[in-house]
Amino acid sequence: MSQNISSVLVENRVFKPSKDFAKRARISSMEQYRKMWKESIAKPDRFWAREAADLVWQKKWTKVLDWKLPFAKWFVGGKLNVSENCLDRHLGTARQNKAAIIWEGEPGEKRVLTYQQLHREVCKFANVLKRNGAKKGDRVIIYMPMIPEAAVAMLACARVGAVHSVVFGGFSADSIKDRIEDCGASLVVTADGGYRRGSIVPLKKNVDDALKAGGKNIKKVIVFKRAGNDIHIEEGRDVWWHREMEYVDAKCPPTALDSEHPLFILYTSGSTGKPKGILHTTAGYLIQCYTTCKYVFDLRDEDVYWCTADIGWVTGHSYIVYGPLSMGATAFMYEGAPNWPENDRFWRLIDEYKVTVFYTAPTAIRAFIRWGDEWVTKHDLSSLRLLGTVGEPINPEAWMWYHKLIGGGRCPIVDTWWQTETGGHMITPFPGATPTKPGTATLPFFGVDAAIVDDDGKEVPMNVGGKLVIRKPWPGMLRSIYGDKARYKQTYWSEVKGSYFAGDGARRDKDGYFWIVGRIDDVLNVAGHRIGTAELESVLVSHPAVAEAAVVGRPDELKGQAIVCFVTVKNGQQAHPELREELRKYVRHVIGPVATPDDIRFAEALPKTRSGKIMRRLLKQVASGQVVTGDTTTLEDLGVLAKLANDD
């Protein structure tokens, strides 16, 4: 039976790690956590040098940190290769023939790649990249389904020093084109199609459309045959992955790259109409991924670790590929939807593969609750030892359900707060040490100096809400917005002097725990995905029938936030239901299915202040059906509001 998840549960219980868990954990007490955290803040050089010594360096660094606010360089003078750290260093050890990736396709195919096999695939594909003109520093777009080859392509880029930019398969042709053009990519790696809920997503077709619309810099498209759907092959430009792999040999030494060599660019929404290319570099990013997998997931050789994110998001980068593989762990990877062919696919997989560590998003947990407990209880989930969440605040009901039904009451839950920009976990429990409370990401990770401040940058008292900031550089931090240092400075380092402003609001409780409230900028968090309202608005107003648009979020039981668009039409245009459907399709077409509006409301005018600013606070209240409260004296036309509220 499905449960009612709309009730507001107040959960005051504190959940302490069990003695058994703590006994084996790398961080096994709060004293140990506090001591290490203090050292990481007071003596970051010493702390991070010790962690960095776990990795393989082709040349040792000369200085741990060079910080010229807001620009950081970590492990200055060092040289290393990320793919060597994820692969080569496990060869010749007991891990050589251990599963690196265990994969299941949505239709049910199964594959296992050992470290040895993955290494071979990556070396060969690195040679394919070179054969097709990719050189150190060149940008490569990866637009792939959730198959091992997505990881192979990323690691192969890292091996030759090419910079990957993975585009999530739920983004459209236009979004691919924009990203190609913004980063100046010369190569695309894609597949004919991928499976999602029983259908084939036409990935190659989307790439073709992107390249028809622009992206003239693209010289080659490498296509992996996954779904067998019919595709167009452009002679001279498009080549098949499997053919290319026949021409190359399996030797490809890892290129020695500077610590600050760019590893990837990942686009994410901000508060302007244009997604930002978040730039991550080599050494610091890898250390953030490695140390968080080591201390937060506390990964062990015998673990089967499953992160359900898509490789197109940062979670997939850090916690499917770079973190687990640098630890020599076994990562499980699944291609498709959680409710295909039935609602218990995930539990079936955990049972079959004996998954031990499971990392997913609150929005998914809320869907599982709605589908009903019986899908869970018919499977044996006793292999699980640790659970994690990421992407949005978790409501206590979902936390408790996750704890009881999935974790059997015995698995600690790590609620990990972080962002595309931070590279890895920033605020998180340590599963063998931190007492957890449902709904809080608890305390900062090593090296993270987090605080909550008011508009003047002053730290706020206990339980008072404010802006979440980070006051010191950390290894996995973004280095810039690709090609736009001024925007990097402006976006992240100008709101609160001397600090990184994350865009989130939060408060701290009496134990110093951080309770993240959510975005306080104009960015929505829809099912754990970031969508900028300005981006949606600029798409809507580019439609010929639309005069003005304002987009706000509405609380949503399942997705966290739903997208509500207020639209005024141009003179002579009719606001009819077909136009509503057309606009919904139009947004899907331009940005992709992830950004599909939930609600489009036509209005005669949008409520504005006398200076012409759209009053979003009011629109949010209208969208969520609340009575509008607060100061409306500056409203240009109060009648506008009444009309908006009455719209269906």
Q: How many residues bind ligand PRX (CB under 6 A)?
A: 22
Between 40 and 416, name the residue whose CB sits nearer to ligand PRX.
416
126 vs 331 by CB, closer to ligand PRX: 331
Q: Which stretch binds ligand PRX (CB under 6 A): 157-165, 325-333, 418-426, 624-632?
A: 418-426
CA pair distance 76, 87, nearest whole angstrom: 23
- Going by the DSSP 8-state scheme, the letter that residue 88 receives in this structure is G
CA 131 to CA 246: how far, in whole Å? 12
3-state secondary structure of 210: helix
480 near ligand PRX, rule: CB under 6 A: no
Q: Is 592 in the site for ligand PRX (CB under 6 A)?
A: no
Is 420 a binder of ligand PRX (CB under 6 A)?
A: yes
Write out the DSSP string of 377-408: HTS--TT--EEEEESSPPPHHHHHHIIIIITT
Binding mask 245-274 for ligand PRX (x = CB under 6 A): -----------------------x------
Q: Does 419 bind ligand PRX (CB under 6 A)?
A: yes
**According to the binding rule CB under 6 A, does residue 396 interact with ligand PRX?**
no
Query: Inter-axis angle of helices 577-590 and 173-183, to 10 degrees?
Result: 40
- Distance (Å) of CA 613 to CA 402, 519, 556, 623: 42, 20, 26, 18
Nearer to ligand PRX, 186 or 318 (CB): 318
Q: Does 398 bind ligand PRX (CB under 6 A)?
A: no
445 binds ligand PRX (CB under 6 A): no
Query: Measured in whole angstroms, how far is the alpha carbon of residue 147 from the centre of its chain?
Result: 17
Q: Which of 314, 369, 527, 640 binds ligand PRX (CB under 6 A)?
A: 314
Q: Rounded to an integer, what distance in angstroms lies between the CA atom of residue 302 and that of residue 488?
A: 41
Provide CB contacts within 8 A for 611, sequence distance 6+.
none
Specify whether the CB–CB gap between 132 and 258 falls below 8 A. no
Smallest Cα–Cα separation from 97: which of 116, 121, 112?
Answer: 116
Q: Using the rule CB under 6 A, is 412 a contact of ligand PRX?
A: no
Task: Considering the complex, state which of residue 195 and residue 368 has its C-beta at the smaller distance from ligand PRX.
Answer: 368
Of 127 and 416, CB closest to ligand PRX = 416
In this structure, which amino acid lies at residue 9? Answer: L
User: Among 390, 567, 579, 600, which residue sits at the site for ligand PRX (rule: CB under 6 A)?
Assistant: 390
Q: What x/- string results for residues 488 through 527 when contact with ligand PRX is judged by CB under 6 A?
A: --------------xxx-----------x-xx-----x--
> Is 426 near ligand PRX (CB under 6 A)?
no
Q: Which of 224, 267, 334, 417 binds ligand PRX (CB under 6 A)?
A: 417
Which single residue is written with the structure tokens 């499917």? 320
Nearest residue (CB) to ligand PRX, 57 versus 313: 313
Does 601 sit near ligand PRX (CB under 6 A)?
no
* CA angle at 275 for the pair 270 and 278, rounded to the nearest 5°: 85
Strand partners, 417: 427
Helix axes 148-160, 115-131, angle to 10 degrees: 60
Measured CA to CA, the distance from residue 192 to residue 206 in angstroms comes to: 10
Q: Cβ of residue 268: shortest distance to ligand PRX, in angstroms?
A: 5
Query: What are the phi and psi torsion angles at 110 (to 5°)?
Result: -125, 140
Question: For residue 515, what are the β-bridge partners?
Answer: 507
Q: C-alpha dihedral over 313, 318, 324, 327, to 10 degrees?
A: 170
Give the nearer residue to ligand PRX in terms of CB position, either 80 or 398: 398
Q: Residue 407: what are its φ and ψ, rounded to 5°? A: -90, 0
Shortest Cβ 523–ligand PRX spacing (Å): 8
Q: In the complex, what is the shortest distance from the CB of residue 419 to ligand PRX, in angstroms, rounded to a whole number?
A: 4
Q: By Cβ distance, which residue is nearest to ligand PRX?
A: 420
User: Is residue 174 a contact residue for ligand PRX (CB under 6 A)?
Assistant: no
| Residue 338 C-beta: closest distance to ligand PRX, Å | 18
Q: Considering the complex, state which of residue 202 and residue 553 has its C-beta at the smaller distance from ligand PRX.
A: 553
Residues that bind ligand PRX (CB under 6 A): 268, 314-315, 390-393, 415-420, 441, 502-504, 516, 518-519, 525, 530
